Amino acid sequence: MARDTARQGTAPRNYPKGQRRRAQIIEAAFTAFGQVGYRNASMVQLAAACGVSRAGLLHHFPTKESLLEAVLEERERQDDEHFFQSGAVTQDGLEYFASMIRLVAHNQANPLIVSLFAVLSSEATAADHPARPYFVTRYERARRQMQSAVDDLARRGLLRPHVQAPGLAADLIAFIDGLQIQWLLSPDAIDMPGHLRTLLRSLVRVELA
Amino acid sequence: MARDTARQGTAPRNYPKGQRRRAQIIEAAFTAFGQVGYRNASMVQLAAACGVSRAGLLHHFPTKESLLEAVLEERERQDDEHFFQSGAVTQDGLEYFASMIRLVAHNQANPLIVSLFAVLSSEATAADHPARPYFVTRYERARRQMQSAVDDLARRGLLRPHVQAPGLAADLIAFIDGLQIQWLLSPDAIDMPGHLRTLLRSLVRVELA
Residues of A in contact with B173 (CB under 8 A): 178, 182
Q: Could you tell me if B25 and B117 lie in one domain?
A: no
Cβ–Cβ contact B171 with A under 8 A: yes
Any residues with CB less than 8 A from the CB of A115 and at least 6 apart, and which?
A34, A35, A184, B125, B126
Among residues B49, B48, B29, the alpha carbon closest in space to that of B40 is found at: B29
First-to-last CA distance in chain B?
41
Which residues constitute the domain of residue A10?
A: 1-67
The CATH number for A159's domain is 1.10.357.10
Cβ–Cβ contact B167 with A under 8 A: yes
Contact B178/A182, CB-based, under 8 Å? no
**What's the Cα-to-Cα distance from B118 to each of A50, A118, A120, B42, rounded to whole Å?**
31, 9, 11, 19
Residue A1 lies in a domain: yes
Cβ–Cβ contact A185 with B under 8 A: yes
B117–chain A nearest CA distance, Å: 9
Q: Could you tell me if A193 and A102 lie in one domain?
A: yes
What is the DSSP secondary structure assignment for residue B165, as one 8-state letter?
-
Q: Which of B20, B36, B70 is the last residue of a domain?
A: B70
Q: What is the mean pLDDT of each run of 10 residues along chain A (209 residues)?
A: 42 72 95 95 94 94 97 91 63 93 95 96 97 97 95 97 97 98 98 98 93
Residue B127 lies in a domain: yes
Residue B119 lies in a domain: yes
Among residues A202, A205, A172, the alpha carbon closest in space to that of A101 is found at: A172
Q: Could you tell me if A42 and A136 lie in one domain?
A: no
User: How many CB atoms within 10 Å of residue B87?
Assistant: 7
B15–chain A nearest CA distance, Å: 33
* CA–CA separation, B93 and B149 (whole Å): 4
Cβ–Cβ contact A126 with B under 8 A: yes
B193–chain A nearest CA distance, Å: 12
Q: Could you tell me if B20 and B56 lie in one domain?
A: yes
Residues of A in contact with B167 (CB under 8 A): 194-195, 198
Residue A38 lies in a domain: yes
Please state the φ and ψ torsions of residue B204, each to the nearest 5 degrees: -115, 140
Residue of B nearest to A160 (CA): B202
Q: Could you tell me if A54 and A99 lie in one domain?
A: no
Q: Could you tell me if B208 and B163 lie in one domain?
A: yes
Cβ–Cβ contact B116 with A under 8 A: no
Contact between A189 and B186 under an 8 Å Cβ cutoff? The reply is: no
Residue A120 lies in a domain: yes
How many domains does the structure of chain A reveal? 2
pLDDT score for A91? 81
Q: Could you tell me if A60 and A90 lie in one domain?
A: no
The CATH number for A32's domain is 1.10.10.60
**What's the Cα-to-Cα distance from B11 to each of A99, B69, B77, rounded to whole Å?**
52, 18, 15
Residue of B nearest to A139 (CA): B182
Q: Which of A67, A97, A115 is the last residue of a domain?
A: A67
Q: Could you tell me if A209 and A161 lie in one domain?
A: yes
Q: Could you tell me if B22 and B46 lie in one domain?
A: yes
pLDDT score for A81? 80
Residue B77 lies in a domain: no
Contact B177/A176, CB-based, under 8 Å? no
Q: Could you tell me if B63 and B114 lie in one domain?
A: no
Contact between A178 and B177 under an 8 Å Cβ cutoff? The reply is: yes
Q: Which of B129, B141, B199, B205 to mutate to test the interface with A (most CBs of A within 10 A)?
A: B199
Q: Could you tell me if B39 and B106 lie in one domain?
A: no
Residue A79 lies in a domain: no
Q: Which of B70, B94, B113 is the last residue of a domain?
A: B70
Cβ–Cβ contact A40 with B under 8 A: yes
Q: Could you tell me if B39 and B92 lie in one domain?
A: no
pLDDT score for A14? 59
User: How many CB atoms within 10 Å of residue B90?
Assistant: 18
Contact B174/A184, CB-based, under 8 Å? no
CB contacts < 8 Å between A and B, how many? 151
Q: What is the mean pLDDT of each run of 10 residues along chain B (209 residues)?
A: 42 72 95 95 94 94 97 91 63 93 95 96 97 97 95 97 96 98 98 98 93
pLDDT score for A8? 42
Residue B79 lies in a domain: no
Please state the φ and ψ torsions of residue A204, each to the nearest 5 degrees: -115, 140
pLDDT digits (tens, 9 = 90+) for A6-55: 444 455 555 688 899 999 999 999 999 999 999 999 999 999 999 999 99
